[in-house]
Structure 1
Amino acid sequence: MLETNLERIKHNLETLSSFNSTPGKGYTRLSFSSEHRKALDFLSKACESMGFEVMIDPVGNFRAKLKGSDPGAPPIMCGSHIDTVLYGGKLDGAAGVVAALEALTVIKEQNVPIRHSLEFIAFVEEEGASFGGGLIGSKALVGKYTVEDLKNLTNDEGLSFYEAAKNFGLNPDELEDYVLRKGDVKALLELHIEQGNVLYTKSIPLGIVEAIVGIKQLAVTLTGKANHAGTTPMNLRRDALVAASNIISFVEHCAKHEAFDTTVATVGKIWCFPNVTNVIPGKVTFTIDIRDIKTEGIQRVEQLIKEEVKRISDERGLQYSVNLVGESDPVKLSEKVVSVIQRVAEKLNVNFLRMNSGAGHDSALLTEVTDVGMIFVPSIEGISHAPEEDTEYEDLKTGCDVLLNALVDLAQ
């Protein structure tokens, strides 16, 4: 069995994490930022030095190909996302990017014969930290987003994804030429940190993902009346923030008591206007993130929340809107690929757990066009999307070794 190089993994991960706009406060590498550019330049140089074919597609997905012996055979993709959340950790996405780079590097260095080409991909805007919704690079790649959709995805400053890509030197108008169809790719493998504490608490070094949760993200806006905090009697107020607080509490209640034990819901972002100490809030917008491995759980919570938004708004004399920000369906991964990963883990004598993913991933979108498998490595204390996010390097290397050998198996 082949083995990856731990020191090179460390070096590449530390280099990638140095492209960070918030040093000392966590890791931030937003799509189309200067840090994103530096990361792409680093990957390009590393891949070109190994003789891989390098390109960046019209929406910003980085791709590098190691050619197989059969030019007519569909390639196998591997990788993860290159962007981060604000003030996040250095491993989310980056671990899978470095793992894929390392796997292709070892295969090239050792002249391992492969029939199918291997294509390393670093997805753009998985997190949605800039343009909302998330999974934009993978959605565009499988035809879920059109050019017009990209023009309607905007950041907090009103700049669209389309405009940002153009400013970055890309041509999103060519997107259609790069959309993947069934048969274009044999399989996709992604290594990722678990972002939960199942593997860590069980002291299991490897997770083999069987299914990925569905996600629905909503934006709720409540509009009341801004007014003087001292001269407006309590019974005459149309306070949007108080109404929002009631709904937010109801969101927690729904996820806990009205759906399944696999259902979770989170309010993670709030805008309050005018956001002044002595003014009654006249308008509030907040996001709701609903997740479940069961579609019914997501639908149930969404329905109850919409009913409660209407009830509270009517009761308090507020106007309201509930808008869809983004969604992805729960998906089962390919048993064919899962079995390959399991077989490799058994050959390497690696203890593993077959499990579900509570986080959304680009891999979920690729299930529409190809067979997909995911490998999890443990997150220390289950922490992710925070500066403290970490994984033991030995566990990361174990995951990289499994990824490497699974790719070789599939590429024959």
Structure 2
Amino acid sequence: MSLLVLGLSHRTAPVGLLERASLTGDAPQRLLHAAAAAVPVGEAALVATCNRIELYADVDKFHAGVADLSVLLAEHSGVDLEELTTHLYVHYEDRAVHHLFSVACGLDSMVVGEGQILGQLRDALSLAQDQHTAGRGLNELFQQALRVGKRAHSETDIDKAGQSLVTFGLERIAEVSGPVAGLRALVVGAGSMSSLAAATLARAGVTELVIANRTPERAERLAATLGARTVAFGDVPAAMAEADLVISCTGAAGIVLGAEEIAAAAAKRSARTPLALLDLALPRDVSAEAHRIDGVHLVDLETLAEAAQSTAAGALDVDAARRIVGAEVDAFGAAQRAAAITPTVVALRAMASEVVGSELERLDGRLPELDGRARAEIAQTVRRVVDKLLHSPTVRVKQLAGEPGGASYAEALRELFDLDPAAVQAVAGAPARVPLQAAVGGDSA
């Protein structure tokens, strides 16, 4: 497997660009199919969060893979390729694995150590599985990344070094509005981030929790679990005027809370503290004009990105997590390299077995007078000799294959013993690559 990662995140791109590049509607599915159908690509997965958009692909050609995936990301995100390219990062093979494992541990998050990324990686894998764009390679890779992330969170205190984006945002709100406890809160949206926000507010002790969502049933289910009440989505402006804190994360393609609605809500408030708005959506739900409205305190992803740069996580916990990532990358690479040579070793032993069988048949023809016992003894002796001759080299080659550059040993075995590539491929159980459209019967665009 030759893993390629191509993407952009809060570390390489301004929030405004991430907002314009965000994938809405069925764009993630269409991008996945287009990526997996590209000529250099065998498998593909997409990680799309409010802080990053990354394509993971198994490619047979590095430069062609980078070129094709860059064009596809530009086409499906709607951002000009030239502008997008200046903010893209590319990782390949071990560096790509290292990047994914770091992401899983929260080391590459806006809020270092946050654990929500594990759920987002699970969602990314599920989407690729559902769309039939992830095969054995990416499945094993993402499953291992999830295990590495869990290990980092269980063996270090990186959870204390970081926190969820919701908690981080509420801390920025508290700097102006004071503690969340005792506030009246409105949550707009009922997806995973909004649900996390609502649950966090309930635990924090808000005096009132109101939930609004375009699909009322989802809002009602969430409200029932938290002892909250719901309002119709069309009544959000009126509910906003009665709230002290509004958190919005809907996944809508356009602005949900406009400047005029926010200004009107702020004007109706009699409280001295400003109306606090926390926008966790990408693209944004809350108009950026709210930053300039009197009586309003807006914290959005751009604000959080700036604050995160000045927030130091626990250095010891981060270092410990990084050591875990380094060790896991080495172990994963060694296991992958060792596994890659197994089909060649099996094919070699199968060829040796065929040669032994053929020679024993010739012996039967030349010495038909041999009795059954003698034939069995000769056959056992020949097979034992072949097994002994092959044992040490095949064990050693598996060990060597686990080291960096170990792939060359499989090639050496194939050349030295003139193994049929088709036989090795058959042992590996990997059918020849076919276009994704033919495999799933769908359109790539």
TM-score exceeds 0.5: no
Choose between structure 1 and 2 for higher RCO, CA contacts under 8 A separated by at least 6 residues.
1
Structure 1 or 2: larger strand share?
1
**Of the two, which has the highest radius of gyration?**
2
TM-score using structure 1 length: 0.30
